[in-house]
Amino acid sequence: MTIFLICVNIVVLLAIIGLLIFMQKKHISFTKRVFTGLGAGIVLGALLQAVYGVDSEILTNTADWYSIVGSGYIQLLMMIVVPLVMVSIIQSIINLEKSADLGKMSAWIIGFLVSTAMVAALIGIGAAGLFNLSADQIDAGQAEIERGDMLQEKLGDVQDLSAPQKILSFIPSNIFLDMTGERATSVIAVVIFSIIVGIAVLGLRRKNPEQAEMFTKMVNALYAVVMRIVTLILRLTPFGILALMANTVAKTDVAGIVQLGKFVIASYVALFVIMIFHLLLVGVFGLNPMTYLKKAIPVLGFAFTSRSSAGTIPLNIQAQKNSLGVDTGIANMSASFGATIGQNGCAGMYPAMLAVMIAPTVGIDPFTPAFIIKLVLIIGISSFGVAGVGGGATFAALIVLSSMGLPVALAGLLISIEALIDMGRTAVNVNDSMVAGTLTARILGKLNLKTFNDKTAIEDSSSF
């Protein structure tokens, strides 16, 4: 009977996938197919939990089968991230008209990412104060205690690193190791290596233009192949989101959400305010915030479901270039940098809220100017190198809390709602990188306003 029910659940998923394929053949837009998959996944996940219960063996086995589609899609995206980052950045640099443009691009992108992370920290502090959050209000069960102990052990990996050592960790010593994503700073290391290669080609162009031209043609050809692979993988997005959302909803701990409901609400209020702040920034630079939001939503929907900033890089780049009119080089760099630098949700808002919650447990008033200034500065500095995958927020929290002299074990109290909050944090992280790319392009005169204002351009970027 158990096997039969699992097979029925699989058939239901396949039937919905069949519907999405039918919609594709009828040339229904990519955006509509993505949101159909998202909605169907929510309904399917809710039904599975209601019928079988969150702890049932049938649901666990069904989720394993669904993961072939959902997690398999994420793995395909992660597979292409390193080749895409390397080739796109090298290609962007060697095709620059002026080498000075590289410094300007990087400075503006990183400036936007880090400064908005610090603003996000202030918003997180405000939300924690508004909702009167405190770690003392949370009851610790066995799972929470175990998670706290794990965080305390993990702290040893980061607390002894000085600021210069953290900066040193960005520099690649074995690029092949970093290509595997072994370190939290692997993406930054790959970006730095790619920048060095691009600069080397610019220098070679002055001394040996023939070899530089040959290398440029090879890179351009490789870039075309990689982007074709990206297109093929992105065609699977509606199916991946369907399975991911079904699993997420089916396995959500409703009791944990109810117990920690105030923290969940406070987190999403803070994330909503950060999104409003991003849109206000877009408006300040003379662009229509609603036009931007409409074109960013498909990407943010995927980021929300996948909980992976790094996995969203391919879709992020495509949307910036084809929907928002951002210059290719800026889109490549902002998406790549944004996956590991200045993440507003994971490295900005979340550690700030935890610090405010935990500080009173050790007799510290978190709302003094000295505490707030120190916390915001530490968050700005530590926002470099946060891994753009699930768990990145935990790494950021470890760094910030240890730097503030606060106990990290109490962060384990939020384990039951970690996934739910991480969905919103990831969407905000990705939105920040898209805003940074869009505004940098606007400032440097490399934003195609015709494409940005074209309401149909969102379809062009998603005609998979």
Check pLDDT > 50 for residue 143. Answer: no
Residues 72 and 176: their CA atoms lie apart, in Å, by 23
Query: Which amino acid does the sequence have at 130?
Result: L
Residues 122 and 265: their CA atoms lie apart, in Å, by 17
Question: Which pLDDT belongs to residue 460?
Answer: 43
Check pLDDT > 80 for residue 228. Answer: yes
Check pLDDT > 60 for residue 254. Answer: yes
Residue 127 pLDDT class (50, 70, 90 cuts): very high
Sign of the Cα torsion 106, 108, 114, 117 reads negative
Question: Which pLDDT belongs to residue 99?
Answer: 62
Question: Which pLDDT belongs to residue 391?
Answer: 54
Least confident of 91-95, 134-138, 139-143, 158-162: 139-143
Sign of the Cα torsion 123, 125, 130, 134 reads positive
Task: Return the percentage of the chain with pLDDT > 90, whole number.
Answer: 29
* pTM for this predicted structure: 0.75
Residue 123 pLDDT class (50, 70, 90 cuts): very high
Question: Which pLDDT belongs to residue 411?
Answer: 59
Residues 416 and 397: their CA atoms lie apart, in Å, by 17
What are the tens digits of pLDDT across the range 272-289? 999 999 999 999 999 999
Residue 14 pLDDT class (50, 70, 90 cuts): very high
In this prediction, residues 27-54 reach a mean pLDDT of 86
How many residues would you count in the chain? 464
Residue 419 pLDDT class (50, 70, 90 cuts): confident
Check pLDDT > 60 for residue 202. Answer: yes
Residues 262 and 397: their CA atoms lie apart, in Å, by 20
Question: Which pLDDT belongs to residue 47?
Answer: 92
Residues 319 and 323: their CA atoms lie apart, in Å, by 5
What are the tens digits of pLDDT across the range 312-336? 888 898 899 999 999 888 998 898 8
Q: Which residue has the higher pLDDT, 185 or 149?
A: 185
Residue 185 pLDDT class (50, 70, 90 cuts): low
Please name which of 395, 362, 359 lies closest in space to residue 150, comparing C-alpha atoms.
Answer: 395
Q: What does pLDDT average to over the chain?
A: 82
Domain 2-460 has CATH 1.10.3860.10: yes
Q: Which residue has the higher pLDDT, 190 or 429?
A: 429
- Tell me how many degrees the CA angle 141-142-146 measures, rounded to the nearest 5: 120
Question: Which pLDDT belongs to residue 175?
Answer: 85
